[in-house]
Structure 1
Amino acid sequence: MTEGRAARPTLPPLATTTRMFARSLGWSPDQLTAAFRPAIRDDLPALLAFRQRTGWDDDAYLRWRYGLDTDGRDEPGTLWLLRDDTGVLAVIGREAQRIHHAGRTLDGQLLMDIQLRPDLEGGGGGVWLNQMMMAKADVTLAVGANAHSIGLVKRMFAALPQRSYRVLPLDSAEMLRQHGLGTFAVRVGAPVLDAGWSLVHRAAQRRSRSGIDVVEVAQVPTADIEALRAVLPPQVACVMPSPEHLQWRLFDNPRARYDLMVAYRAGVCVGYMAVRNVAADGTGKAGLHLLDWKTAAGGADAALMALLQAAVARARKERCSRVFTTVLDEQAAPLLKRLGFLGRESPSLVAGVYSAVPLPGNGGQGRWQITDLSFDSDGIY
């Protein structure tokens, strides 16, 4: 991950994409740029009609995610839109992301929720929306993509290594059934797998006794999280929210409330991990989602292993069927493997960066840690 690409992908000039997209709308370039603005509370009915979501508390989610109740004042997220007398034409969202690397804290952002009215697709709107947002931060991240956006991400962002889905099955019988094995094979194979995973965990525990205590907390410990930021591994670029931002992200979300586990050694915070029990799957059991973690540079492996073991112990106690996450993290990969996590690749798990300053994968040295904290999946799984 230390190899650098060109500092910026080659993009058409913003003036060119502005003219193209304005032409597709029948507007002038000045009309287009003047109409692009943050959404406010009065836009909510039109936004809900435009998104046409089902099964989510979308009204509450939009108010929370994009600060519509405060018209975006001092909120971590902002939704930018274009609309005319007929309704909303296009939207793109951003969440502020403090990027920590080599002792610096950079002004970053995550782009998400990009959507164009169907008849406007193909007119250059997707490129234009991204370019307009890229000017609003030093660093812009793209994390994940669907069939409509993956080409745009690959074109506009310097590619980072692929993230991977990691899962620790805790219900071997159900895992085997999902892979098409019959009743007899499940009856024979599941106890063998369960015994194997039990041995793996006992071996990992013996190898990682470190004097680290992991406790669950009811709110973000502000002083501890600020102190942790100062001792993060300098060669790793990662998203490190402020304590206030982390509190908002973990505990105020109307779709998904997370729990926070904090690791201490001799009373000093050496890491944290955010987790959430998700809805029951086909087994009737919940899964445990690992959303995010950070660890101090000194003894980072020991701190992360303690947090992972605490998460697995919680999942077993609560009879979860699996523990899972999606991650780009070279430090975590061997520890997850040691605990028995299985890896799975997917084309949708892309990650990219567009940056005005050198960063890993974008003309700078080092590596990235990207967790599901930088993926707008709240409440989906």
Structure 2
Amino acid sequence: MSDGRAPRPTLPPLTTTTRMFARSLGWSPEHLLSSFRPATAADLPALLAFRQRKGWDDAAYLRWRYGLDAKGEAWPGQLWLLRTDDKVLAVVGREAQRIHYGGQAFDGQLLMDIQLLPELEGGGVWLNQSMLAHADVTLAVGANEHSIGLVRRMFSPLPQRSYRVLPLDSAAMLRQRGVGGVGGVFARVGAPVLDAGWSLAHRLAHHRTHAGIDVAEVGQVPPQDIEALRASLEPRIACVLPSAAHLQWRLFDNPRARYRLLVAHRRGSCVGYMAVRNVADDGTGKTGMHILDWKTAPGDAGAVLTALLQSVIRSARADRCSRVFTTVLDEQAVPVLKGLGFLARSSPLLVAGVHATVPLPGNGGEGRWQITDLSFDSDGIY
């Protein structure tokens, strides 16, 4: 009888991949390992030349994301690089993410900003594998066409995430999807009907909301509220819930994106939060509202999530956003999102996986995961 444990991916041991990658470089395994180290501020010029990122201040991003100026201070992010005296060959970043499950908190991490010189693409397995020992749990959330095979090979599979979108400007959505018809007739005629339907769904859901839930925007992360949520987490649900200081850093210190934080209270007690930001909505000339993360206390989580989403939708309408969107792996959230009119879109790239040395859902533990875009390396790109 199956115990529900997902098949473990099979990889050669790290000693083997180290030897193979070192040989491809013409190095010894010892030289490879000694050349792979955390980046410092002195590496910044070489990193900028290697990454060649355009459209934002990459130096500010790297300093913020990876604490290049931290001078020994503990930092949520860390960038590891492989370099010779004159150039960077590869980089991989990590963000510490505390994984809560079964009444315990485990050291987790998200790997990101992975980049190698084109001629070293075969070293991706080693680059990822070398980072796994830094945490009890490593999450893989999302992939592209180049990395999806690596994710499937290295991580135990979790259920597929889904992209959820609430169109607030159906004409723009239809035009983007090429459903304009001759002269855009369908977009002009059909869009008001769709908008009315979604508006009706929103109003009906409003009447189902339980009374007594107050939602307000706050300018900084309240530590007491995060601790209250942490204490109330359901033991059979595995999720990422950073400390208040970590969440403050991620939401309000990011040089590329400033998020807004909504907090829900009932009778003075925190029962949930939601982090959002407006982003450029390509092709419409408007903005979309991206939901990065949320947490809700158990007991009446559906009502709390509904109240938070209703507040976000009102804000998005006031800002004349064309849509509200997110990706989600959360069984409890799906009926709430559907009830508010959110549409589901699937993609093979919305994969999720876990590599863990402790029992968790998908790795021998019972229960399920809640994963939001907080564990996807967006940082203001989306």
TM-score, normalised via structure 2 length: 0.96
2:169 alignment partner, one of 143, 146, 171: 171
Residue 72 of structure 1: CA displacement? 5.9
Contact 1:261 1:307 in 2 (8 A): yes
Structure-2 separation of matches of 1:30 and 1:365: 40
Q: Counterpart amino acid of 2:334? A: A
Structure-2 separation of matches of 1:198 and 1:109: 39
Structure-1 separation of matches of 2:89 and 2:18: 15
**SS state of the match for residue 280, structure 2?**
coil
Contact 1:262 1:269 in 2 (8 A): yes
Contact 1:98 1:108 in 2 (8 A): yes
- Alignment gaps of 5+ in structure 1: none
Structure-1 separation of matches of 2:58 and 2:158: 31
What's the counterpart of residue 201 of structure 1?
Answer: 202
- Identity of matched residues, %: 74
What's the counterpart of residue 121 of structure 1?
Answer: 121
Structure-2 separation of matches of 1:185 and 1:30: 65
Residue 68 of structure 1: CA displacement? 0.6
What's the counterpart of residue 58 of structure 2?
Answer: 58
Contact 1:40 1:72 in 2 (8 A): no
The answer to whether structure 1 residue 139 and structure 2 residue 137 are counterparts is yes
What's the counterpart of residue 181 of structure 1?
Answer: 180
Q: Counterpart amino acid of 1:181? A: G
What's the counterpart of residue 95 of structure 1?
Answer: 95
What's the counterpart of residue 316 of structure 1?
Answer: 317
Contact 1:281 1:287 in 2 (8 A): no
Q: Any residues of structure 2 matched to 1:237-256 within 5 Å, and which? A: 237-256=238-257
What's the counterpart of residue 331 of structure 1?
Answer: 332
Residue 280 of structure 1: CA displacement? 4.7
305-314 or 243-252, which moves further after superposition? 305-314
* Alignment RMSD (CA, Å): 1.3
1:166-216 deviations in whole A, cap 9, x for unaligned? 100000111222232232222221121121112111111111233100000
Q: Counterpart amino acid of 1:164? A: S
Structure-1 separation of matches of 2:266 and 2:128: 43
Q: Counterpart amino acid of 1:151? A: G
**SS state of the match for residue 121, structure 1?**
helix
1:137-182 deviations in whole A, cap 9, x for unaligned? 1000111111221111100000111111110000011122223223
Q: Any residues of structure 2 matched to 1:357-372 within 5 Å, and which? A: 357-372=358-373
Q: Counterpart amino acid of 1:131? A: Q
Contact 1:72 1:78 in 2 (8 A): no
1:49-95 deviations in whole A, cap 9, x for unaligned? 11111112211111111001114631100000110023001111100
Structure-1 separation of matches of 2:164 and 2:278: 16
Q: Any residues of structure 2 matched to 1:37-116 within 5 Å, and which? A: 37-71=37-71, 73-116=73-116
Q: Counterpart amino acid of 1:253? A: N
**SS state of the match for residue 238, structure 2?**
strand
**SS state of the match for residue 233, structure 2?**
coil
Structure-1 separation of matches of 2:71 and 2:90: 18
**SS state of the match for residue 319, structure 1?**
coil
Residue 116 of structure 1: CA displacement? 1.1
1:100-119 deviations in whole A, cap 9, x for unaligned? 11111100000111111111
Contact 2:176 2:283 in 1 (8 A): no
Structure-2 separation of matches of 1:196 and 1:56: 39
What's the counterpart of residue 351 of structure 2?
Answer: 350
Structure-2 separation of matches of 1:365 and 1:225: 25
Q: For residues 237 and 322 of structure 1, do their structure 2 counterparts lie closer, same or farther at Cα, with a shift above 3 Å needed?
A: same
Q: Counterpart amino acid of 2:258? A: R
Residue 232 of structure 1: CA displacement? 1.4
**SS state of the match for residue 54, structure 1?**
coil
1:330-357 deviations in whole A, cap 9, x for unaligned? 1111110100001111121111100000
